Chains A and B, each alone.
Chain A
C-alpha cells in the first residue's frame, strides 16, 4: 500500500498516548455507529511503480495523433519550453490562494502582470485573475451586465455550442431569459434578427468572433445595433487571433471573454483551461472573481494584494454576484509566461502562421471538392462541404495518424495552427485525395 504519511505506526501510537488515547478509532467516537463503515470497496493501495504502470497503460489506450486539424474550442499549439519550466516550479504549483500577501508577493505580482497583459491583448481596461474556462467566462460575462431594468440575454447561434449550453444553464437557474439569434447563409449573425431581438429589457448580447465556424463577425454592426438598444455587448475572442485581428476594446464592447487554452495550455482532453474576462472601468466592480491590485506597505514599498474583495462571496455571501473562489491561477500564469515569451512580435507571427496555414489548407481542400460554406473572412477555422462520407473520411485519415476536421453542420470544420506546416498540409492533402479517389 502506498502512503504519504511521514509518521510511523509507532510514532502515531506515541502521539495517541500523549493524548491519553490507545486507538485512533477513539478519535471517531463522535460519529454515530450506524453511519460508521468498516471498509471501502476499493482496490488495495499500490506502489508508485504500479500506479505509473496502470496510468501509462490507460494513456496508451488513447490515440495520440501526429497531425491535428481539429479545433472547435480546443487547439493544439506549440508550447514554448520556458512555459512548462516556469509553471512547474513547486512554489507556484503548491501554493494556495494568496491570502497572506506578505509571503505571496510572487503569485500576486504574477496575477497583476497577467491582468495587465490581458488588458493589452484585448484593449480593455480591467481584467480579473481568471475564471474556469471560456464558457463560464461567457456566462459570467452576460450575467454581470444585468441591472434592475434589464434581465434578458441575447446569444448568437454562431457561438460554440458548449458556450451556448453553459450560458443557458447559468441563466435558467437565475430566471434570466435567453433569446437566440440565427445565422445567415454565410455563417454570420443575422443582423436584422439581432436588431429585432434586442430591446429595452436586454442586458447583454453575446457573440463570438471568430465564431464557432471560423468566420469573423461584423462586430461593428453588432455593437452598434446592441448599444443603440441600450444593451451591453459581450464578445468571445480567440487570444491568438488578437495577435493580428482587431481587439474587443477597439470594437467598443463592454465585456471581453475568451478561452485562454491556446496560450500555452495543453489540449488535456478538455481541461484545465483558462477563462479570460476583461471589461471597462465602468463595469469593474461587477466583474466576478479575484482581482489583484497595487498598493504599498507602511514603509512605502510597492505591494500587491487581492482587492475589491467586498464583491466576493466570502464577504457578500448570498448577495455576491458569483460564487467563484478557486479559479485557474496556474493556468493564468501559464498564459502570462506564454505572452511574455513570445512577445508582441511572436504573438503576431503565430497568428500569421495560423491564418496562413488555414488559408493554404482551405485552398488545397477546395481543389479536392471541399467547398468553403462561406466566402466571408475567417481566421484559422473554416467549414467546408464534404464530397465523401464525413465519418469515413475521419476514420481513414485516423489510420494515417491524422485527426481530421470535426464533422458538423453538414460539413467539416477544419482548423490549422502554426504546427501544421506547408509540408504537413501537402502530405495531408495527398492522403485526402487518395481517400476521395478510392
Chain B
C-alpha cells in the first residue's frame, strides 16, 4: 500500500502537487516510484522553461526504462531540484521530499485529484 499524504493534490499520471502562495511544487508519488523501480537518473527542464499542463516536462530513468513526467500545470519553472541530478535515489527513498521542480506564473491547472480520489485511482491501476 503506497503512501498518499492527505494535504497534497495528485494527477492520474502519478505526479503530486503542493501549492504555497503562487508557487506550485511538483514531484512523483510513492506509487509511481514503486512502479518505476530503482531510478538512476532524472532529466529536468531548465529554469525559465515553460511547462504545459498535461505535457511531459521531465523524464526519469531506471536501468531498462525511461518514463515521462507530466506537468499538472501550465507555467514557468522557477527552480529545479539539482540534488536529484546526483542522487536520483532520493525519489525512491523519499518521494514526497524529493520534489522535481517549482513552477510559478501558473495560468492553468489541469484536473487534479484529492488524496481519496487518487487512492481509488491507484487501487484501480494496481
Q: Do A and B share a direct contact in the complex (Cβ within 8 angstroms)?
A: yes
**Which residues of A, 145-179, contact B by the 8 Å Cβ criterion?**
147-148
Asked whether any CB of chain B lies closer than 8 Å to the CB of A396, the reply is: no
| Chain B interface, DSSP helix/strand/loop, else mixed | strand
The reply to whether B66 and A319 contact each other, CB–CB distance below 8 Å, is yes
A315 and B66 alpha carbons, distance in the complex (Å): 7
How far is A310 from B63 in the complex, measured between Cα atoms in Å? 7
Q: Which of B46, B61, B65 has the most CB of A within 10 A?
A: B61
A327 to B63 Cα, complex, angstroms:
21
Q: Which residue of B lies closest to A320 (CB)?
A: B66
- Please determine whether A148 and B46 come into contact, CB atoms closer than 8 angstroms: yes
Question: A310 and B46 in contact (CB under 8 A), knowing A316-B66, A319-B66?
Answer: no
Task: Give the distance to chain B from A68, nearest Cβ to Cβ, in Å.
Answer: 47
Is the CB of A285 closer than 8 A to any CB of chain B? yes
Please tell me if the beta carbons of A310 and B40 are within 8 angstroms of each other in the complex. yes
In whole Å, how far is B83's beta carbon from the nearest beta carbon of chain A? 17
The interface on chain A, measured as residues whose beta carbon lies within 8 A of the other chain's beta carbons, has a size of 9
Chain B residues with CB under 8 A of A309: 63-64
Interface string of B50-65 (1 = CB under 8 A from A): 0000000001011111
Question: Would A148 and B65 count as touching, CB distance under 8 A?
Answer: no
**Complex CA distance for A386 and B64, rounded to whole angstroms:** 59
B49 at the A interface (CB under 8 A): yes
CB contacts (< 8 Å) of A315 on chain B: these are 64-66
Interface positions, chain A 309-350, Cβ under 8 Å from B, are 309-310, 315-316, 319
Return 21 A-B CB contacts under 8 Å, by A number: A147-B46, A148-B46, A148-B49, A285-B41, A308-B41, A309-B63, A309-B64, A310-B40, A310-B41, A310-B61, A310-B62, A310-B63, A310-B64, A310-B65, A310-B66, A315-B64, A315-B65, A315-B66, A316-B66, A319-B59, A319-B66
Q: Give me 6 other A-B pairs in contact (C-beta within 8 A), A309-B63, A315-B65, A316-B66 excluded.
A: A147-B46, A310-B41, A310-B63, A310-B65, A315-B64, A319-B66
Q: Spell out B's residues near A (CB within 8 Å).
A: 40-41, 46, 49, 59, 61-66
The 6 closest A-B pairs by CB, nearest first: A310-B61, A310-B66, A316-B66, A315-B66, A315-B65, A315-B64
